[in-house]
Amino acid sequence: MSNALIIVDVQPDFCENGALPVTGGEMVASAIASDVESRRSHYAAIVTTQDWHIDPGEHFSSTPDFVDSWPVHCVAGTPGAELHPAIADLPVDAHFTKGRFTAAYSGFEAREMLAQAPKDDESGALLGDWLRAHGITSVDVVGLAADHCVRATALDAASQGFHTTVIAPLTAAVSPENMPHVHDELRAAGVTVLTLG
C-alpha cells in the first residue's frame, strides 16, 4: 500500500489562545512535527488541510451552538488561518483549503491551494482526487479537532475506499468526553483507531 499522512487543520485559531481553541492543540502540533521528522520515510505523501473561511454563512455566529455554528475563526489570509508554525516548515507535498463560502468539516471537501492563487480560488484538485492521482491507497489522519474535522475526514477517506487510520495521540478534541463514541463510530465505518503512542 502507498500511504499518505493527512494533517487536519493544525492552525493557530484551533490552538490555545486562538479564536476557537482546542485544549491540547499546541501539544498536538509539536507531536505531529516530531512524528513527521522521525517517520517521514513511512509516507509516500504528506498533505495538510486548513479551514479557510471567507463568507461561510451560518457557520459563523455571534451566538454559536458549537455544533453547527461557531465563533469567527480561520478567516482566509489571517494569521489564525495559516498553518501552525510547528507544521509550516514540514516537508509537505500539497496544501488543501476548505470552507471558503460554506461550512466544511472533511478534508475531502478541500481543494489544493495553488501557488500564487487568490484566496478565493477554488480551481485546485479535491483531496481525494489528488490522493488517487498520486497512487495513494492508505491514509493516516491526525490533527484538530478529533471530534469534528478529523472525524469527518476519516469517515470520508474510508467511504472513498482508502484504508484509513486515525492516530489518536496525534489529535485533540473539542469535547474529549465524546471520544469513546467517536472512536466507536469510526471503527464501525472501517477506520482503524490507534490509541497508543
Residues 189, 182 contacting (CB under 8 angstroms): no
Catalytic residue list contains 120:
no
Cβ–Cβ < 8 Å for 16, 27: no
Q: Are 168 and 195 in contact (CB under 8 A)?
A: yes
C-alpha cell at 190: 472501517
Does the annotation mark 74 as catalytic? no
Q: What is the Cα–Cα distance from 19 to 72, expressed in whole angstroms? A: 7
Q: Is 92:45 a contact under the CB 8 Å cutoff?
A: no
Are 96 and 53 in contact, with CB atoms under 8 Å apart? no
b/e sequence 114-152, b meaning 16+ C-beta within 10 Å: eeeeeeeeeebbbbbebbeeeebebbbbbbbbbbbbbbb
Per the residue annotation, which of 15, 147, 149, 156 is the catalytic one?
149
- 9 an active-site residue? yes
Helix axes 151-159, 179-188, angle to 10 degrees: 10
Q: Which one from 35, 98, 140, 147 is the annotated catalytic residue?
A: 98
Backbone φ, ψ for residue 96 (5° rounding)? -125, 135
Q: Catalytic residue among 9, 13, 35, 156, which?
A: 9
Residues with a catalytic annotation lie at 9, 98, 149
